[in-house]
Chain A
Amino acid sequence: MTRGFVLTRLVHVAARSALTYALPIGVFIVLWQVWSDVYGVPQLFPPPSTTFRTLLSMLADGSLVRDAAASMARIGTGFVIGSVIGAFLGLLMGSSRIVREVLDPYVNFLRFISGVAWISIFIVWFGIGEASKVVLIVYTTVFTVLLNTVAGVVAVSPNKLRAARCLGASRRQLFFLVTLPATGRFILTGMRLSMANSFLVIVAAEMVQADSGIGFVIIAARLFLAPDVIFSGMIVLGLLGLLSDRLLTIGSWLCFRRYYLQN
């Protein structure tokens, strides 16, 4: 391969991604501007220029970073604890029939009560501080991870288990060397789905009761009638969600690549 060839390829790729990303986003921003002009009241529907100026100033004075960090700390803590509990319970439910049958009605009922509905009761139990918000994220994370883990354990091909047993694996080896690695990908899928839910729930929780965090920024700005601040908060929220989703996808691919190839 010559250097020139590589260079042309690079230019091609750059040009194409510029077209596929920059063009739609550019048009979106233009439409936003036009729509805001048509709406006529910039105080209620700020144009992109005002929003980006606000976004930059909020980034510059550090307030946005502080609020984003507060939200991410809550999500991070709850997410890790919830994933561990969810994966553990899921593996237990997947491997033991009696545990599955006992816990099944609870899981099937509780998953219809979204984390958001627990906000009030968690505030009564754990106070208005950080604890109630972290517990809320734990609750949200547990169910999605748990359901996906159970699905993963059930999806392990019986032939693999039989093969391992024929080769003399004990029950423990069967679990740690066959079931667990094959389930990893499902656990990570569950974690990815619940990451999206965590963002939703933390925003709701911070709107209802908090003095920091992106959700708080969004709801407080409504009271001051500052939609540019609201939009800035939403943009940061979207970016953080996108980023954490991509990180989990890449992490899943790196850790469990060889299990992707089987189907």
Chain B
Amino acid sequence: MAVAVAEAVGNSDTWRLRARPFLVSCASLAAGMIVWEVSARLYFTPLRLPPVSQIWARAVETAANGTLELHIASSMFRIVAGFCVGSALGILVGLAMGVVGTVQRFLDPIVNFLRFIPPIAWISPFLIWFGIGELSKVLLITYTVTFMVMLNTIAGILAIHRNKLRVARCLGANRLQVFRFVIMPSVVGYILTGMRIGMGNAFTTIVTAEMIAAQAGLGFLILVSKNFGGTDLIFLGMITLGILGLLTDRLFVWAIDRWARRFYLH
């Protein structure tokens, strides 16, 4: 079979680098699922470890009656809203800090301290200040993303080679032109990387926020299912989260590759 596949894909390099890892991955996943299914049926109660088939049945059931979609939609709305606002804020503050030396020197110690307070810790004050509605959750995501994007933007500006700036100045560029034609193109890659990491962190933050105060969302589903022994629903929530995280990340990478590739070639 291996030979046939190798011939089908054309040359042995493609086989070695692409087809083989893919086949091994599929086989490994399939084996893992079978081990899970069998051991769950033989050794565990569904309360401890539900078999894969049961989780799948639950997925079909909740998708049919619309509850799964509701949870996904509420979580994704919070993430996307916070992500957009947070990215915009992070880019603005990051650029200001990176370009204007005084601002950077001034904010640096504060940023360096706040960086070590996990965004989740802000949930208590946010709940007190902004209530238990959507606003506090969206703001929490905004805070998470802003920080990541800002730190990466600053790192990007600091990474620009001094000679590039000097060359531009020597050739007569004014400050605005230096910013537009030298700083911006070199920083875009870092900003996008920051946004990608920020999106990943947003998924962590939203789960906790929804566990502590929400009426819908995947984090809410995971926590509430524990209270009435729905282990299969917990797993469903976790797997959905993983798939959503994986999909958004891949979408991001694809979009970068499609439209922003040139910013990474330097």
Tell me if A230 and B226 are in contact (CB < 8 A). no
* B residues lining the A interface (CB < 8 Å): 20-21, 24-26, 28-29, 32, 47-48, 105-110, 112-114, 116-125, 127-129, 200, 203-204, 207-208, 211-212, 218-219, 222-223, 225-226, 231, 234-235, 237-239, 241-243, 245-246, 249
Interface residues on A, range: 35 or more
Between A and B, 14 residue pairs with Cβ closer than 8 Å are A21-B109, A98-B24, A101-B21, A102-B28, A105-B26, A112-B245, A119-B223, A120-B225, A125-B48, A200-B204, A222-B128, A231-B125, A237-B116, A242-B116
A113 to B241, CA, bound (A): 6
Known: A28-B110, A117-B222. A219 touches B242 (CB 8 A): no
Contact present for B238 and A117 (CB under 8 Å): yes
Kindly state the separation between the CA atoms of A45 and B126 in the bound complex, as whole angstroms. Answer: 11
Which residues of the other chain, B, contact A102 by a CB distance below 8 angstroms? 24, 28
Which of A146-154, A170-178, A201-209 touches B? A201-209
Residues of chain A within 8 A of B245, CB atoms compared: 112-113
4 closest A-B pairs by CB:
A241-B116, A112-B245, A200-B118, A114-B204
Instruction: For the complex formed, measure the closest distance between the CB of A15 and the CB atoms of chain B, giving whole angstroms.
Output: 15
By the criterion CB–CB under 8 Å, are A101 and B235 in contact? no
Chain B nearest CB, measured from A229 CB (Å): 9
Pick the contact of A199: B114, B116, B222 (CB < 8 A): B116
Indicate whether A242 sits within 8 Å of B120 (C-beta atoms), given known contacts A24-B107, A106-B32. Answer: no
Contact in complex: B105, A219 (CB < 8 Å): no
Whether A260 sits at the interface, judged by CB under 8 Å, is: no
Q: Is A245 an interface residue (CB 8 A)?
A: yes
Q: Given A25-B110, A208-B223, check contact A120 B234 (CB 8 Å).
A: yes
Contact of B109 with A121 in the complex, beta carbons under 8 Å: no
- Are B114's CB and A238's CB within 8 A? yes
A11 within 8 A of partner (CB): no
B113 and A238 within 8 A (CB): yes
Do A116 and B28 touch across chains, with their CB atoms under 8 A apart? no
CB < 8 Å neighbour of B120 from A109, A200, A238:
A200
Q: Are A207 and B28 closer than 8 Å at their CB atoms?
A: no
A204–B208 touching, CB < 8 Å: yes
Contacting pair B121 A233 (CB below 8 A): yes
Q: Which residue of B lies closest to A114 (CB)?
A: B204
Picked from B28, B110, B212, the residue with its CB within 8 Å of the CB of A208 is B212
In chain B, what residue has the closest Cβ to A230? B124
